[in-house]
Amino acid sequence: MTSRSDDIEVPSVEHAENGSAAPRPPTGRAQAGRDAVARPTLWSERADMAESAVVSRHLRALWALPGTELGVVGWPATRRERVFGAWHYWWQAHLIECATDAANRAPTPVRRRRIAALARSHRIRNITGWTNRYYDDMAWLAIALERAERTQGADVRSALAALEKQLHDGWQPQVGGGLPWRVGSDYFNAPANGPAAIALLRLGRVQRAEEMADWLDATLRDPETGLILDGIHLPSGEIERPVFTYCQGVALGLEAELAVQTGDPKHTERVHRLLAAIEEHMTTDGVVAGGGGGDGGLFNGILARYLALVAVMLPGEDPEQVADRRAAAAIVTASATAAWGNRLQVEGEPLFGHDWSKPAQLPGGSAGAGYFTSGGSVTSSKVPGRDLSVQLSGWLLMEAAYQVSAAGL
């Protein structure tokens, strides 16, 4: 049912065809040098604009408490969303990650304060502290807070201790390993085990992270496509076969970081194999294909984040590793160029679409908001671009494009 008071009138909306083209290829050494300098600046400016759009449309104080800031999950927002009756734990974790991206790219006191406010607000809104019953949620938050602490000095040590204990102790060797997606569940999936392994690796639990990487590769890699499947029921062994972009992303990132930490060539080989599968099955003309709203609004952005990590971090100077770094960077850049070219400009700020290869759509109001399913996932809004998840993916993608361009890729 449409609430007239929740609708908005947007005076200035246009498809942003100007500036949608990728930088022209260099025509000589001088042009190549100028482009090498210009591209990071270009993507930094676009990341700034993506950040500004999320801040202006989605961020507000939690329950009018001073020193708080949290992401409203829809724009335009319903009354329930505005008062954080719906807030979506794991979306907020990615908001912290994006805020950390921005602070690392261009540090300012405002950005550092925002990270602290978002972390504090997350704990307050979660009511019971830092943890919950969902291992995937806790893994995403652990990744975000560890990085905020390591790169921006955020005071989150107690949070990380609580999250690390849950993620480490949730491993279940009695059924052959794996972390369930939720406490008490028989379903063990890539969206829990991938980010949990990344978090534990960054927290110094290298052996457990290796165990989890080996488990993912042995249990959920599809021998036909090379992609990572969603999950498995244990001990029955029934596999759920959908493939999602974020499952590929976390597996890529985990293997690339393990390659750095351990030097074991099996990890670079797994990156090579999975990257080829992603190029074949999950891109069209070099752009990450498809996309959705609700929880799915974050899936492609997560893949872009870890493609950028592969591009910047994958070790090795053999032709295969050099080619893999370039291929990962190329997908990020092509996707970011497409997403930027297909954005809407709403009152001077970008609004990204859920499918980066298609023009974004303007939400007409708060009608058709997403909702929780009985299984605990969040559905898409009627216009997916209304969802904070979709806009975070766009911001995340712009930050990823900056990272690969700043690395000269």
Query: In the predicted model, what is the mean pLDDT of the chain?
Result: 92
The predicted model gives 9-29 an average pLDDT of 44
At residue 1, the 3 state secondary structure works out as coil
28 or 276: which leads in pLDDT: 276
- pLDDT by residue (tens digit) across 368-401? 888 888 778 899 999 999 999 999 999 999 999 9
Q: Measure the CA–CA gap between 307 and 324, rounded to whole angstroms.
A: 10
- pLDDT by residue (tens digit) across 346-358? 999 999 999 999 9
| The pLDDT value given to residue 14 | 61
The predicted model gives 292-311 an average pLDDT of 98
Is it the case that residue 6 has pLDDT exceeding 70?
no
The predicted model gives 333-337 an average pLDDT of 97
HSE-CB of 371 using CA atoms within 13 angstroms: 6
Is it the case that residue 17 has pLDDT exceeding 60?
no
Q: Measure the CA–CA gap between 294 and 166, rounded to whole angstroms.
A: 26
- pLDDT by residue (tens digit) across 40-95? 999 999 999 999 999 999 999 999 999 999 999 999 999 999 999 999 999 999 99
The predicted model gives 251-275 an average pLDDT of 98
Share of the chain above pLDDT 90, in %: 87
Longest dimension (CA), the chain: 62
The single-letter DSSP state of residue 356 is: T
Question: How many CB atoms are closer than 10 A to CB 18?
Answer: 9
Q: Give the DSSP per-residue string, 101-130.
A: HHHHHS--HHHHHHHHHHHHHHHHHTSS-S
Q: Measure the CA–CA gap between 202 and 173, rounded to whole angstroms.
A: 22
- pLDDT by residue (tens digit) across 97-139? 999 999 999 999 999 999 999 999 999 999 999 999 999 999 9
